[in-house]
Chain A
Amino acid sequence: MLKIEDLHVEVEGKPILKGISLEVAAGEVHAIMGPNGSGKSTLAYVLAGREGYEVTKGSITYKGEDLLEMVPEARAAEGIFLGFQYPVAIPGVSNIYFLKAALNAIRKHRGQDPLDAIDFMKLSKEKAAIVQLPDELTKRSVNDGFSGGEKKRNEIFQMALLEPSLAVLDETDSGLDIDALKVVAQGVNALRGPERAMLVITHYQRLLDHIVPDVVHVLIDGRIVRTGDKNLAKQLEREGYSEVRDAPSL
């Protein structure tokens, strides 16, 4: 589904990603782990097409297409979803209105009819239940005055509604207490499926106790230094990033 080859990315002239290669097949969950400043979020933004992230070398192929040619909304319509580390607020725009506009824009791209208000509300209720998002939050302005945990739950709620093919979750666990973490992880697990790939970016291993990955990559200083199974995450937790970087591959 996703194939990244020798990807080099600069931000404001500074090299951040220095040759990443990665392949994710449908149905797989990959974790990207790494210390602060290693380029994890940059990878997420490049996949979603954010401005200011310049690809200087390499390629990204998604569902057989050149992803780098697509504008962000086209990527979204093609099924790429980014769960933001810091979701932004949009005052005055209700969550539900925002999502209906988003979903219908994506449906339009797929040649489907827009959902009407009644069908949408029904769908929204169903999906909100997955992350136990209170009804009241779906009606409030997008992320406006939400707590950290509410914002993250809202991201997963949006993911559930938009049903992406590739979900990139950027530090979804940051700022969550253990109960909230469990709820979010359950939400994510409920969305795992044979047609859906996930890239879970995290600093800590604890999220991976709840969202068990098929593959773990360790990203340090813009390069993937190790790739392994879920046990690699546990090893990291025990030994720290520097040990893992210097140790020979498993």
Chain B
Amino acid sequence: MSSATEPIDEILKKSYDAGFVTDIEQEYAPPGLNEDIVKFISKKKQEPEWLLQWRLKAYRRWQQMSEPRWAKVSYPEIDYQDICYYAAPKTDKDAPKSLDEVDPELLETYEKLGIPLHEREVLAGVAVDAVFDSVSVATTFREKLAEVGVIFMSFSEAVQEHPELIKKYLGSVVPVSDNFFAALNSAVFSDGSFVYIPKGVRCPMELSTYFRINAAKTGQFERTLIVADEGSYVSYLEGCTAPMRDENQLHAAVVELVAHKDAEIKYSTVQNWYPGDENGKGGIFNFVTKRGLCEGEASKISWTQVETGSAITWKYPSCILKGDDSIGEFYSVALSNHRQQADTGTKMIHLGKNTKSTIISKGISAGHGQQTYRGGVKIMRGADNARNYTQCDSLLIGDKCGAHTVPYVDVRNSTSKLEHEATTSRIGEDQLFYCRQRGLSEEDAVSLIVNGFAKEVLKELPMEFAVEAQKLLGVSLEGAVG
């Protein structure tokens, strides 16, 4: 029906709220990648020799690897020699120690994004390790966390202050040779966050990092490492947004989580990087490797993600369930509008006995968006009585988008139990009309229906994040009616 498709063309004309550029002096490495650049980065960060060697090893492996092509995404060839691999805000002497020392313009950027650090500090009790471009410029609440022994700092600081922990865990979950993008990240990662929760400590607040890409043609190579020692608990929030750009920006982050015996890590992401305009111009390429290791008995790792941004998303937060009785969870809402393409899902690798995993994936496609759920559940020989439940739902808005489901299952132990459920539905004209007849505008109706669809995932998010995510889903779909 033409009457139903016409509004689609009106669609998604919503300009990107966070599209502005902050004018701050940058210190760049020249574009291109070779061993000298790797050495430059390492030297800039005054890293120990072992870390330089680790990077170089990764770089050499990377050179032998090729970009993965199996994902259902298409994008122009990336010229890795045309990218800058290091940019940091200039600092005269040392990095700022408190917010007062932070460049006011930088703080204003966060204000515009609705992330007032001061307010969050005082009201929400959230410690924010704000990553601007590649170097952390503000770390808050560190003292309070230090009282209970929690370490929460930028990755480069951790390299200086806790080299033994970094050396022990870096690359222990995602080895340098894991995949093309992880190898690239390992060679050139600039900064990120490091968290260590000591034995038996329940982290007294939610830890949060806001990422923001701010320099043209500067790839972002964040490195996050979270270690939860025996019996500890931490909830970590990651939120991202970026200014409008015409050129594609490469992002290849690596996140490693390690949960020891009886420990629990909850990792939540709201991702809102610039998705490109309605014609698919611009937008972030997001090639992320996220993996958690449930090392100890009865440990638990839970990934929750709301992915609304990026032109291309290639991301599979996974769990290796090594410890007996360990639990892995993956809750995801991914939204593709305009020309966005998302190939995302998870891998659950069951090694230990009585291990359990849950996968709830909700894909929303609108405009010309393409959405693929790609999941792998692997039950290894020793994983007696392993269980997996997978639920994978797709919602289509309009008739030019696509949803695809690619679930892999590999079972090598006959005592395991696996369940898989999948649905595909469409926002119906009848649902929209019903809402409008009750007085809701078309946009509010879409937002309401989509949030209902995503509810099972949104409820896994910490409260304030859930509210933000709800708004984000609505904003990302404004005008997306078919």
Q: Which residues from B are CB-within-8-Å of A77?
A: 439
Bound Cα distance from A109 to B438, whole angstroms: 12
Report whether B449 and A73 are in contact in the complex, using a CB–CB cutoff of 8 Å.
Answer: no
Report whether A72 and B452 are in contact in the complex, using a CB–CB cutoff of 8 Å.
Answer: no
Number of residues of chain A lying within 8 A (CB) of chain B:
31
Cβ-neighbour of A73 out of B439, B451, B455 (below 8 A) = B439
Most chain-A CB neighbours within 10 Å: which of B434, B437, B453, B454?
B437
Report whether A106 and B439 are in contact in the complex, using a CB–CB cutoff of 8 Å.
Answer: yes
Q: Which 3 A-B pairs have the closest CB atoms?
A: A92-B452, A93-B452, A102-B438
Q: Which residues from A are CB-within-8-Å of B1?
A: 52
Also in contact, A105 and B439, with CB within 8 A (given A72-B433, A91-B452, A92-B451): yes
A-B contact pairs, 16 of them (CB 8 A): A52-B1, A52-B429, A73-B436, A73-B440, A76-B438, A91-B452, A92-B452, A92-B453, A92-B454, A92-B455, A92-B456, A93-B455, A101-B448, A109-B439, A158-B438, A162-B438
Q: Does B428 contact A (CB under 8 A)?
A: yes
Q: Does B26 contact A (CB under 8 A)?
A: no
Q: Does B206 contact A (CB under 8 A)?
A: no
The 8 A CB mask of A141-172 against B (1 = contact, 0 = none) is 10000000000000000100010000000000
Q: Which residues from B are CB-within-8-Å of A98?
A: 435, 438, 448
Q: Which residues from A are CB-within-8-Å of B454?
A: 92
User: Among residues 83 to 121 in chain B, which have CB atoms less than 8 Å away from a CB atom of chain A?
Assistant: none
Also in contact, A88 and B438, with CB within 8 A (given A93-B449, A93-B451, A101-B448): no
Bound Cα distance from A51 to B454, whole angstroms: 27
Report whether B451 and A101 are in contact in the complex, using a CB–CB cutoff of 8 Å.
Answer: no
Q: Whose C-beta in chain A lies nearest to the C-beta of B393?
A: A91
Report whether A101 and B440 are in contact in the complex, using a CB–CB cutoff of 8 Å.
Answer: yes
Most chain-A CB neighbours within 10 Å: which of B428, B438, B439, B452?
B439
Interface residues of B, Cβ cutoff 8 Å to A: 1, 3-4, 428-431, 433-442, 444, 448-449, 451-456
Q: Whose C-beta in chain B lies nearest to the C-beta of A54?
A: B3
Interface residues of A, Cβ cutoff 8 Å to B: 48-52, 71-73, 75-77, 81-82, 84, 87-88, 90-93, 98-99, 101-103, 105-106, 109, 141, 158, 162
Q: Whose C-beta in chain B lies nearest to the C-beta of A89?
A: B431
Report whether A76 and B451 are in contact in the complex, using a CB–CB cutoff of 8 Å.
Answer: no
Bound Cα distance from A49 to B429, whole angstroms: 13
Report whether B431 and A82 are in contact in the complex, using a CB–CB cutoff of 8 Å.
Answer: no
Q: Which residues from A are CB-within-8-Å of B441?
A: 73, 105
Report whether A51 and B4 are in contact in the complex, using a CB–CB cutoff of 8 Å.
Answer: yes
Most chain-B CB neighbours within 10 Å: which of A50, A72, A84, A158?
A72
Also in contact, A87 and B434, with CB within 8 A (given A51-B4, A92-B453, A92-B455): yes
Most chain-B CB neighbours within 10 Å: which of A49, A102, A158?
A102
Most chain-A CB neighbours within 10 Å: which of B438, B440, B441, B448?
B438
Q: Which residues from B are CB-within-8-Å of A72?
A: 433, 436-437
Q: Whose C-beta in chain A lies nearest to the C-beta of B456?
A: A92
CB of A96, distance to nearest CB on chain B (Å): 13
CB of B468, distance to nearest CB on chain A (Å): 18
Cβ-neighbour of B434 out of A88, A101, A109 (below 8 A) = A88
Bound Cα distance from A19 to B185, whole angstroms: 71
A sample of 18 more A-B contacts (CB under 8 A), given A88-B428, A99-B438, is A48-B437, A50-B433, A72-B437, A73-B437, A76-B437, A81-B437, A82-B437, A90-B431, A92-B451, A92-B452, A92-B456, A93-B448, A93-B449, A101-B444, A105-B438, A105-B444, A109-B439, A141-B452
Bound Cα distance from A101 to B470, whole angstroms: 14
CB of A36, distance to nearest CB on chain B (Å): 20
Q: Whose C-beta in chain A lies nearest to the C-beta of B452?
A: A92
Report whether A76 and B452 are in contact in the complex, using a CB–CB cutoff of 8 Å.
Answer: no
Q: Which residues from B are CB-within-8-Å of A101?
A: 440, 444, 448
Bound Cα distance from A51 to B430, whole angstroms: 10
Bound Cα distance from A75 to B453, whole angstroms: 27
Report whether B455 and A105 are in contact in the complex, using a CB–CB cutoff of 8 Å.
Answer: no
Q: Which residues from A are CB-within-8-Å of B448?
A: 90, 93, 98, 101
Bound Cα distance from A24 to B390, whole angstroms: 55
Bound Cα distance from A106 to B444, whole angstroms: 13
Bound Cα distance from A102 to B434, whole angstroms: 11
Q: Which residues from B are CB-within-8-Å of A105?
A: 438-441, 444
CB of B456, distance to nearest CB on chain A (Å): 7
Report whether A90 and B430 are in contact in the complex, using a CB–CB cutoff of 8 Å.
Answer: no
Report whether B431 and A88 are in contact in the complex, using a CB–CB cutoff of 8 Å.
Answer: yes
Q: Which residues from B are CB-within-8-Å of A48?
A: 433, 437
Q: Which residues from B are CB-within-8-Å of A73?
A: 436-437, 439-442
Q: Which residues from A are CB-within-8-Å of B449?
A: 90, 93
Bound Cα distance from A105 to B456, whole angstroms: 26
CB of A33, distance to nearest CB on chain B (Å): 23
